[in-house]
Every structure is written in structure tokens, then in C-alpha cells.
Chains A and B, each alone.
Chain A
Amino acid sequence: MQFTVFRFDPEVDREPRYSTYEVPVREGTTLLEALLWIVDNVDGSLSFRYACREAICGACAMFVNGKHRLACKTQIKDLRADEVVVHPLPHLPIIKDLVVDMSGFWEKYRAIRPYLIAEGLGDREFYQSHADRQAIDEMLNCILCACCYSSCPMVWTNPEYLGPAALLKAYRFVRDTRDKGGLERLKLVAGEDGVWRCHTVFNCAEACPKDINITWSIQALKRKLARAALGLKP
């Protein structure tokens, strides 16, 4: 199978180029296995991020045959294509080849106070009903891979926009019955660089390798903010 991979080393390359590799593929071969095969056997200069190889660490997000994917979770046969074309996550600065600069992504993660706001009890757990725990189950599955962030046209055009991953994280805490952040927390995601910048394009939900409906969480935040603005209980 032919693999065409985007290459760019800002230290030596004036502009991006592509390398092509012929890689043996069998039933079940993943894109990550193919990339590692290239490094071990053909071209050790190819750079990409990876770790767990089981779709839980979020390191190996890339853009493959026109879609955001985790390399480890992508089986070559499932692409149903004659060629595999691999790009780094679009719209992020490139460090080298498939490795992108995620600092903007993490800056926005930090901006929403991504931690439980509550006075600890110390000698026992906070009680939480099974239903309330399950209400945040989907948001908890986020692996911070940045597929959603890279797919969002509002992120492309407005560098200040918090973006889908940070807003999903915000809603995970807003909806957590243990959290005491209340209105203060909602204020962090209000405004034109917050939830209102989301135009419900649903690219984030489409791109998410963990099948999280991120747009839904952003809409839920909008509803809470609207209720708060009307003086109702959010």
C-alpha cells in the first residue's frame, strides 16, 4: 500500500514536501503500526507523536485521507482507499512533519479553570447519584487529542476562541453536581470568545474519535448562560 506523508522541517525545508512509502499491510494493520514500520525500516527521519496505541492517550491525532483520526485507531483496510495520505492536524503550527504545536490548545484548556471547585471533605467522598454521574459520562471520555479544535472553522478564524475541547471540559464541571463554581464558572465561557462564537457547525462532533457530541455540550452551556441572563436558575 502506498503512503504519502506530509513532511516539513522548519530548520531545513523552505516549504513542505511529501514522502511516499510502500508499506506492507495485512488485516488489522493500523496507521500507527504502518508509521512505526516506516521509521524502523525505511525512514527514521519521519516524526509523529504516539504512546498508548489504544485510543486513550490522545497523542496520535492526525489528518488522514481527508478526516481527523487517531493513527492508532485507524485500520488501513477500513479506509477503503488505494492510497493513504497523512497530514498533521490542520490549522496548527508545525513543529516537524506530523508533530504540531499544541500550546494554544492547552492555553485555552487552562483558561476555563479545568478543575473541580469545591471545599474537600477529607474523610469521605462527596455523594453523587448514579444518574448525576452518568450525566457527565460522555464529556469525561475526552482524551484531549485536539481533533475537534483543529476541525473547527471558528478556531481557524478567531485565535481567541476557546474552542470545543475547552468548552466541553467547562461543561463537564458545570454539570458535575460536586462543583461549586456556579456563575463564576459560567462567566469564564461567556462572551464572544466563548460559547457564542460557536456557530453549531458540528465539525467537532464529526471529528471526535471518541464519538462525543461536543456541540451538544456547548449548546447546553449557551442555554445555562441564557437562563442566567434572564435571572433564572441556570
Chain B
Amino acid sequence: MPYHRILVVGAGLAGLRAAIEAAGDDVAVLTRVHPVRSHSVAAQGGVNAPLANVPEGKDDSPERHAFDTVKGADYLADQDAAELMTRLAPERIYEIENWGCPFSRTPEGKIAQRPFGGAGFPRTCFAADRTGHAMLHTLYEQAVKRGIRIYEEWLMLDLIVSGGRCRGVVAMDMVSGRVEAFGAEAVIMATGGAGRIYARSTNSHINTGSAAAFCYRRGVPLKDMEFVQFHPTSLYPNNVLISEAARGEGGYLLNRDGERFMARYAPKAMELGPRDIVARSIQTEIDEGRGFEDAYVHLDLRHLGAEKIKERLPAIREIAMYFAGVDPIEKPIPIQPAQHYTMGGLDVDKDGASELPGLFAAGECACVSVHGANRLGGNSLLETVVFGQLAGAAALRYVSGLEKTGADGAVLEAAVAEVEGRIWELLGRQDGEKVSVIREEMKQVMFEKVGIFRTEGPMREAVEKIRELKERVKRARVDAKGRRYNLELIGALELPAMLDLAEVIAVGALARTESRGSHFRRDYPERDDVNWLKHTVARWTPDGPRLEYKPVVITKWQPEARKY
């Protein structure tokens, strides 16, 4: 059985940065896809850091960046964490640039920066509109340089907990179908978001959230899961992301009457309001009949000119041409809001440590929290490298204080047997519903009833529906009976975990009788700081999540009305 002192699960930006930090020790990375296929690769617009590299940003500072982050978060972010992230931002950006990340440049040769939504200054560093690709390839290159061991195409299926400590994970080699226990003294979860719980999502197919859900089932609480970001501009009809950079570079949002409707919702910030506000504005235009085909509005880049579009937004142009047959130099892009980011996640502190000794988490699967109720564009890439590094360092400190205990063979064997049992049950069942039917019903109900606009009645129906699906999935069948690269089996193993997350999101949203950031209740349209300036913490029980709450850390900024 494989054993490593530190095991990182997930090889996107957060996971690779954590592994690089721990590379001096016995560290390995386990990932369901080759590292460069991780969803970080799809991040487009950029990464925030108060570098003050462009004239309009000369007065920027970590404090201004932290304030924008906290205000964007609708005051649900922990302010000490936001301050830490923005203070460390410059060194992490210089570091990845020094490692070769090919950022776009200012005329003086510094890292270029562009305006982004909800930011007081142009502070978003970028590599054209392929920033995630540039950063992920750079970190993979650094992992190769250090010879870090990577287990590719292994799907995590359980967390091993014994004696009150995390002792490793159970995973399946997708190629052979073999199940193994990976013993470890510390596990760092860096498995990304859970966007694929929703019908309309910009996320990669691999973003199921299942790995984080397996930790939740083993007692690690989830925090603030009801806060789900809907990105204002996803391509109609297949919801591929159209970066906020398109608006940062000056793009307009237009309704059917050709009106720049953001003037009615965010008169100062216009198209560069924060994502929650812009997404709701677009959906309102569509719902009130001012969209096209009751489904989308236009993102118009034509006035930027061919040269700027080709240099600054080449990937956006490619995507619009490939997937919608529209060249943005000549025509506006049809866009609609879609699920984009999971603000909530495994409840961890600023070092990425969860309450379970030995279990750490960083990146989108974690909730520190720096994004609160609404993440600002450009802050997720920053979070991955800042908290990936911190989690790697914290895991190193944790294991250095431990005797090398090795793994307890009986515990690991029992953990493997439990997962094997799940697999044999699925493969052995001859009748029942197809898993894909249940999955589609989950996605639809989450988008329709726990989506951009929420009200009590539909959310109650959603909770009931999810509980019904949880029962039905226990009797679902898998037709493909082989073990080798069995996509249907993989989907069936993940779905119960996804349903657990869907339930946490819906139950948390139903309980929170206020509107804050991305969580908008038509029946409670105002923010309620007296009762709800607090984090939701969900704990697994056999009967569904048990909700607890904990205070938000406030250092400098008392909550005030959020105007843009």
C-alpha cells in the first residue's frame, strides 16, 4: 500500500503550490486527471495583487485590496484572512513570475494589470485571457523540476480517519479499476469546486465536489455552502465562461433594446459591478422580457476594435467563434448567467487546517473564508497560490512534530473493503434506475430552485427532491460491469457525494432568511447583520446536515451598505 508523509489530493494550482512547498519532505499528489487538465487551466481573466504597476493603480495597497475583497464579499469574509491574502499577494505573484509564468507586460516591462469587477484599482495581473493556463503550466513545470511524485487518474473515494486523526485516503486507479489505500500523516485537499451539481455551469466536468463530500461524510464540517457564485457572462447556450476581462477591457452589456442596462442597477460601476449584482441584473432583464429568446443578453466588444480583441482577449474570441459561431469583432456575444464558483467549502483556518488533525484544504474546495458571500473576479487564482503555500507549510510543520507512525494496516484494509463493497454493490445490481437520470434531476432542481433568485417554497421542494434522489440513488444501477476506465461506474460512485453537497447547499440556503452577496432571497431581500452576520457550518448526520453558526472575524471594517 502506498504511503507518503504528506498526500495532496488534486493537482490544480492550490494542490501543486502546496506540494511544491512540501517538496523537501515525502510528499505525493493524487489526482483524477493529469495535472494540466485540472480546472485551474480554464481560468481566464487574471489574478489580483496590489502591485501598483499601472499609472491608474499607483495608490493601490494590500489594505485597499482587502477592503474591496471584504466589501465584495458582502462582509461575510473573515477580515484577518482577507488581509493576510492581500499582504502575501505580491510575493506569490513575483514568485510564480520568477518561475516563468508568462504574464502580459506593461510598456516598461512589468506585469500588466487590468480593471476587474468590484475593484477600486486596476490590479488584475494577466496572461492575455489565458491566465489560469499560464499559471497552471508554470506550477506543473516546477513540480516536474522538483521530481514530485504524482499519481495520475486516481479518483479519491474516501477519507481515512482513525484515532481522531486523518490517516490517508482511499482511491481508485481509473485505468485499472484497482482500489488502494494511501496512508499519510497529513492530507491536503485541493480538489476544486462543485459546480457540476448545477445544470448550467461554467465548470469542467470534473468539478463534482465529490472528494470534499467524502471528507464531510467523515465528520469534517462544510462552511457557507449556500453561497454559490453565478457568473454574469457564460456563453449561450453551452455556458462556457466568457471572462470578466471582456468587461474589464471595456465591453458593454446590452439588452434587446440596445440599452446599457447596468446604468439602472450599478450606475457608477456599470458593467464592472461585482458578479452577484451583475448576474442578477442580467437575469432580471431576461425575466422581464428585455433579453433575446427569453434566454440571453448581448456582450458587445465591437467598439474595442479588432486589434485590442486579438491581443487582450484572444481566447474569448476563439471560444465565441468555436462554440457559438460568433466573431466578437463583428457581432455581440450571446451570454447568460451560469453557476461558476463555490464560495463555501471545507471549514479551515488561515493555515488551511480543518478541525480534524492532519486534514488540510486549500483553494476552491476550502472555505477560509476570504470570499464570504461573493468572490471578486481575480481573487480565486490568488487564493490558490496564497493558501496552497500556507497549507503546504502548515502540513510540513504538522508532520515534523509527529513520530513516523506508518500506517495502521488493519484500518487501511477496512477502508479499502468499504469502498470495494460500494463498487461490488453497484456492479452486482441488475435492475434499478440509470444513474444519469438521477444526476440530471439533481442538476435541474438545483438550478431552478436554489439558483440566482431563491424563495422559501421552491427551496423546500428542492430539499425534499434531493432527499428523494438520495433514496433513489441507493437503488440505481450501472450497466457497464468492467473495472477498467469505467466512466459510468465513476459517475455512480460520485453521485451520492454530490447529492450530500446539494443537500447542504439547499438546507443552508433555506435556513438563511436574508439576502447577502450571491445568496438572494426574494422573500428576504435585505441583508440582516443583526441575525445573519455569521458563517454557516454544516455537519454530517445520517438524517442530513446539522447546521451550526460561527462568528465572522471583523478587524477594520464595520459592515455598511454595499453601493457600486
Contact = CB atoms under 8 A, between A and B. Distances in A.
Interface stretch (B32-40, B451-459, B548-556): B32-40
A9 B484 CA distance: 8
A39 B107 CA distance: 51
Nearest to A95: B175
B473 to A, nearest CB: 15
B144 interface: yes
Contacts of A86: none
Interface string A60-100: 00000000000001010000000000000000000111010
B557 interface: no
Instruction: Bin the interface of chain B by size.
Output: 35 or more
Interface in A87-135: 95-97, 99, 102, 106, 109-110, 113-116, 118, 120-130, 133-134
A114 B144 contact: yes
5 contacts: A44-B488, A51-B38, A73-B322, A120-B99, A133-B103
A123 B486 contact: no
A58 interface: yes
B98 A57 contact: no
Contact of A143 (B33, B36, B108): B36
Interface string B468-481: 00000000001111
Contacts of B206: 51
B100 A52 contact: no
Interface string B108-141: 1111000000000000000110100110001001
Interface in B371-387: none
Interface string A125-169: 111111001101100110110000000000000000000000000
Contact of A51 (B111, B205, B241): B205
B109 A130 contact: yes
A144 to B, nearest CB: 6
B328 to A, nearest CB: 16
Nearest to A136: B102
A45 interface: yes
Contacts of A137: 128
B128 A143 contact: no
A174 interface: no
A53 interface: yes
Interface in B59-109: 91, 93-95, 97-100, 102-109
A45 B486 contact: yes
A60 to B, nearest CB: 9
Contacts of A144: 36
A11 B482 contact: yes
B486 A125 contact: no
A54 B323 contact: yes
B111 A133 contact: no
B36 A120 contact: no
Interface-central residue, A56, A109, A136, by most chain B CB under 10 Å = A56
